[in-house]
A and B are shown apart, each in its own frame.
Chain A
Amino acid sequence: MQRVFKIAENIYKIKLTYGLKPKPLKCAKPTECFDAVLSSFELDDLLALQEAVSKEIGATMLEGSDVNKITFFAAVHAMIEPYRVDFVNSFSTQNWQKSRCPFCGSKAGLGNIKDTGVRKLICHFCWTEWEYPRTKCFDCGEEILNYSLFEVSGRDVRVDFCESCKSYLKTVIFEHSEEPYVLWDLKTLSLDDWAASKGYKKPTPSLVGIDFTK
């Protein structure tokens, strides 16, 4: 139980603390971008980051490939964070209304309905939030949305699903202030099993970069 909390908390902490300061990016093709991101950092910075990530997550939690995957995910997070913060501060997502993340172009990994009724999608990769119409499918854009309502440790969590593309998205119905979304994504892993047993698929892995449904 504690491990779930710890992993989520640590990724969140690393994301906030270890944001490096890279040089400006120059890459012509999307395939070059990742190399460009890496080469824009000092190697010592990267190694320091890797050490920090391993210390925070790796040693205490898991074995083998799990550590590597989560470490890698956290490292990439820390690298893109400065760009992402710049972007989020200068871009209003109110009129974005698309099913892809306005920053990195990935699909949503979790939904959130605010007290005002506004629905936000959360990018499964970079955790950027953006506004999205309430009754639209988060993947194919179908106008009718079905949902089942659950209570998970005292909170309402919905599983939204679309009958035309057979995909689903977990949606938490409360404000972000108390606990990070990544924690709730992990706390509700049993809902992923439930949705899979009903024949629905999630187009994205969980918010820590691992697909638990496999």
Chain B
Amino acid sequence: MGGITRRDFLKITGLAAVGASTLGLKKDAMAFEPKLKFEKAKETLSVCCYCAVGCGLIIHTLDGKVINVEGNPNSPINRGSLCSKGSSLKQLINNEDRVKKPLYRAKGASEWKEISWEQAFAEIAKRVKATRDKYFQYKNKKGEVVNRVEAIASVGSAALDNEECYLYQKFLRSLGLVYIEHQARI
């Protein structure tokens, strides 16, 4: 053993061995037959549409259809976890029962009727105006100027971003609303 140098060690252990015949080993491994479940799915990053927390999502799609939604473990916001609402996001995407157009049920009617967005906007504006005009207070009981409406309240909206919230708040204050609340207070 004494005559062997470190270089010889490399030779013995086969540093120079190239082009291994690995057929035998490969044949063994082929015994584990893989079953193809599906081919060519895609992972895309997204952000949850529900609340202002903005949890990161990974959307799995197969042929353009969503097959799975999970939390993004690399997102510093949620680190892969999702709330119960967020976990059910797949049902928001593939859902026949999802309401996609405004529905209107007239006074006394038992059925919902589809209406256009224009009709819906007009109806909402009409009612806001009527309620505000009816209940607007210029002065309180003490005679102090208050300029407020106590008959309308706003609850929302968690899906808005900072700038949208600013505009929304401005709009509500301009109507004189004082009951302004957020539905995502947990």
Contacts and interface: CB of A to CB of B under 8 A. Distances in A.
Interface of A: 1-4, 7, 35, 38-39, 43-44, 46-47, 50, 53, 62-69, 71-72, 75, 116-119, 133-135, 143-153, 156-157, 186-191, 194, 210, 212
Contact of A3 (B5, B28, B34): B28
Given A65-B20, A151-B35, A152-B32, A43 B4 contact: yes
Nearest to B31: A1
Interface of B: 1, 4-6, 9-10, 12-15, 17-22, 24-26, 28-45, 58, 70-74, 80
Contact of B41 (A64, A67, A68, A148): A148
B32 A72 contact: no
A134 B40 contact: no
Contacts of B17: 65, 68-69, 72
B14 A144 contact: no
Given A148-B38, A188-B32, A212-B26, A116 B80 contact: yes
B151 to A, nearest CB: 48
A148 B20 contact: no
B80 A190 contact: no
B14 A65 contact: yes
A7 B20 CA distance: 15
Given A146-B41, A190-B30, A71 B13 contact: yes
Contact of B43 (A44, A67, A145, A186): A145
Given A135-B58, A144-B42, A188-B34, A68 B25 contact: no
B41 A149 contact: yes
A50 B29 contact: no
A46 B73 CA distance: 43
A153 B5 CA distance: 46
24 contacts: A3-B25, A4-B29, A50-B13, A62-B24, A64-B21, A65-B19, A66-B21, A66-B22, A67-B14, A68-B13, A68-B17, A69-B17, A72-B15, A75-B13, A117-B71, A134-B73, A134-B74, A135-B44, A145-B42, A149-B36, A149-B41, A186-B29, A190-B33, A212-B26
A44 B38 CA distance: 53
Contact of B14 (A63, A71, A191): A71
B9 A46 contact: yes
Given A50-B9, A50-B12, A146-B40, A66 B25 contact: yes
A66 B42 contact: no
Nearest to B33: A190
A64 B19 CA distance: 11
Given A66-B20, A116-B80, A157 B34 contact: yes
Contacts of A156: 37
A42 to B, nearest CB: 11
Given A135-B44, A212-B22, A38 B28 contact: no
A65 to B, nearest CB: 4
B2 to A, nearest CB: 9
B25 A39 contact: no
B25 A46 contact: no
